[in-house]
A and B are shown apart, each in its own frame.
Chain A
Amino acid sequence: MASNEEILSGLAEIVNEETGLAPEAVEMDKSFTDDLDIDSISMMTIVVNAEEKFDVKIPDEEIKNLKTVGDAVNFIAAAQA
């Protein structure tokens, strides 16, 4: 089980891999679409990579609720618990 900090840094790596954004830019309060400029297709790619990395399931209907990086970290942490 990973801590929230570990999930955040893992997620930042995935975002970096997909978009080239610096991992430090991926902060808890950042919005995926508004702040990080991540489109729907990149978001799907990030989701499938996060599922693999953290061994969790993120259902399609849940993805629209993951508006900020913090939403995603919290969802993954809860799913791992």
Chain B
Amino acid sequence: MTAALAQSPLREHTRILGVGAFRPDVIVTNEDVCQWIDSSDEWIRQRTGIVTRHRADASTSVVDMAEGAAREALAQAGIEPSQLGAVIVATVSSPYATPSAAAELAGRLGATPAPAFDLSAACAGYCYGVAQGDALVRSGMADYVLVVGSEKLSDFIDNHERTISFLLGDGAGAVVIGPSETAGIGPSIWGSDGTKSSAIGMTHSLLDLRDVALQAEEEPTGEALVAGTEAKLWPTLRQDGQTVFRWAVWEMAKVAKRTLDAAGITADDLSAFIPHQANMRIIDELAKQLKLPESVAIGRDIADAGNTSSASVPLAMHRLLKEQPELSGGLALQIGFGAGLVFGAQVVVLP
């Protein structure tokens, strides 16, 4: 007879116990942006809703920002770092392929030996992380999970191009997920469409950069090399705005409706709608397609923070709860979407 194999005991419910934010100090205005691209404050506001973006200075890293947001989320949750059963950092702008930002963060927080890993799902990264955190706690694999979205996108932009750089900001947002007596995180609706992988991404790979570096070593003064490789030095972000906008308003409205259905609620039951802060016009169009009642508070952190990729949803949640604390305990539909293309969404009870 084989020995009885133990599996982790399941839990029924989870919820978000606390949320934290880190907003770096450097403020980049539309006037600043217009020194780099031919545009105007009015044009940028009208098409994107962005007034300022925050950017981190050279001495502030993805992990520094993650730590700031994580400490606030842990304090609000009333959870010690030693209680964490996993640390997940969603990021696309950590400058190290390895080790992970999450492992460094866990060490700094004193969460050792909690499992720690980074998650690469761009602007859907936080919602992917919440899907993971919910699953880990309900499966009994962890008691508490820290999910952080932290981005220093300013390291991967070219201020003089006009498809995406002027939209982007830096920052971090974090939540702590743990067990709950009642349902606090609805089913995650998540997915990808890799057939549109070229719609948002880097100009070229690090391998191209390596090749340039190798050539430069062999032929340090070669003019041909300089001319041929000018555009191939540091990889930066680009997007096909038209394709992305269409996908964001059309496909994401469907995903948002599926998420409400899966949670067994309607738009009328929501207290808040917290979409990825990509563009105010996308936010407005999604709100319209979802037929949100006037009473639903809408995350519009983009005006101040710009698009911070994986950090945008928790940053917007943090702002909403600070400005309207009465939303606490209400239902929020959160949805992230971006490079991949990937998307993730869930209805959550606000902490």
Q: Which chain A residues have a beta carbon within 8 Å of chain B's beta carbons?
A: 39-42, 44-45, 47-48, 51, 60, 63
CA distance A41 to B245 in the complex (A): 8
Task: Knowing A41-B281, A48-B250 are in contact, say whether A60-B46 is a contact too (CB < 8 A).
Answer: no
Please tell me if the beta carbons of B242 and A45 are within 8 angstroms of each other in the complex: no
**Shortest distance between the CB of A37 and any CB in chain B (Å):** 11
**Shortest distance between the CB of B351 and any CB in chain A (Å):** 33
Closest 10 CB pairs of A and B: A48-B250, A44-B245, A41-B281, A60-B242, A41-B47, A45-B285, A48-B246, A44-B246, A48-B249, A60-B243
Task: List A contacts of B242 (CB < 8 A).
Answer: 40, 44, 60, 63
| B residues 206-262 in Cβ contact with A at 8 Å | 242-243, 245-246, 249-250
Given A40-B242, A48-B246, A60-B243, output 9 extra A-B contacts at Cβ < 8 Å.
Answer: A39-B46, A40-B47, A41-B47, A41-B281, A44-B245, A44-B249, A47-B246, A48-B249, A63-B242
Please tell me if the beta carbons of A45 and B46 are within 8 angstroms of each other in the complex: no
CA distance A63 to B245 in the complex (A): 13
CA distance A77 to B13 in the complex (A): 52
Task: List A contacts of B46 (CB < 8 A).
Answer: 39
CA distance A54 to B206 in the complex (A): 45
CA distance A68 to B246 in the complex (A): 20
Query: Which one of A42, A48, A51 has the highest number of Cβ atoms from chain B below 10 Å of its Cβ?
Result: A48
CA distance A45 to B243 in the complex (A): 12
Please tell me if the beta carbons of B246 and A60 are within 8 angstroms of each other in the complex: yes
Contact with A along B9-49 (1 / 0, CB 8 A): 00000000000000000000000000000000000001100
Task: List B contacts of A39 (CB < 8 A).
Answer: 46-47
Contact count band on B: 10 to 19
Partner of B249, one of A40, A45, A60, A63: A45
**Shortest distance between the CB of A26 and any CB in chain B (Å):** 19
**Shortest distance between the CB of A55 and any CB in chain B (Å):** 14
Task: List B contacts of A45 (CB < 8 A).
Answer: 249, 281, 285
Task: List A contacts of B243 (CB < 8 A).
Answer: 60
CA distance A60 to B199 in the complex (A): 12
**Shortest distance between the CB of B46 and any CB in chain A (Å):** 7
**Shortest distance between the CB of A66 and any CB in chain B (Å):** 13
**Shortest distance between the CB of A16 and any CB in chain B (Å):** 13
**Shortest distance between the CB of A33 and any CB in chain B (Å):** 13
CA distance A51 to B250 in the complex (A): 10
**Shortest distance between the CB of A72 and any CB in chain B (Å):** 16
CA distance A60 to B196 in the complex (A): 13
**Shortest distance between the CB of A68 and any CB in chain B (Å):** 19
Chain B residue nearest in CB terms to A51: B250
Task: List B contacts of A48 (CB < 8 A).
Answer: 246, 249-250
**Shortest distance between the CB of B126 and any CB in chain A (Å):** 25
Chain A residue nearest in CB terms to B251: A48
| B residues 303-333 in Cβ contact with A at 8 Å | none
**Shortest distance between the CB of B313 and any CB in chain A (Å):** 22
